[in-house]
Structure 1
């Protein structure tokens, strides 16, 4: 029974991590046109909890993409310098959509694992009641 509980804990940690990743992806998409915005990057780390199951994950510190910001020419923009340029956002919409799809699929896989472990626990309890 402990193994089934551990598997639910592992999948729950994956669900939390992928939800945080989706949150950052949605922030990036929302700021695709914000001047000077740097893309947020999410990494995963092993969760080292004394009581938790081995193999659980959590999100690491949020990092900002250090790629150079594109220079946008628009002399009428309020943030434009004397030459008419301002720093744009380094968010690439295609990459963000791909990241969102990957996070969604990983979230769904963790959800299926959680549901399978729950169903197996319920089946085991039903057998023990008989």
Structure 2
């Protein structure tokens, strides 16, 4: 049975991911179509911008993890950066596979890849590793 708080947190995280994702996706298209960068480089740049937005929303709204300790935020930023690095790598590789192997337009391949990466990689790591608080470590949600 799902806890209401867990469902609410999941939905909030999806809003954060959506906002960061829309900016990420729009910037990827802008950089690829207007500035003629290869989509893999566009994903790297746009993913970084989207990640900064996503981190901020997750930290202050979703997980309400506003500890004033600089070492705490440094730890979160480091962990989040590792998640983002993995996420961007998976998104770039997945989009490339859809485009090269299956001849699917990079914009569609990116959307397909994003759905798997967001739910299967980003959300669990962000919730249970990046923004995990000491009081949550003893409780299984």
Question: What is the TM-score normalised by the length of structure 2?
Answer: 0.34
Larger helix proportion, structure 1 or 2? 2
Larger strand proportion, structure 1 or 2? 1
Answer with 1 or 2: which has the greater Rg.
1
Question: What is the TM-score normalised by the length of structure 1?
Answer: 0.37
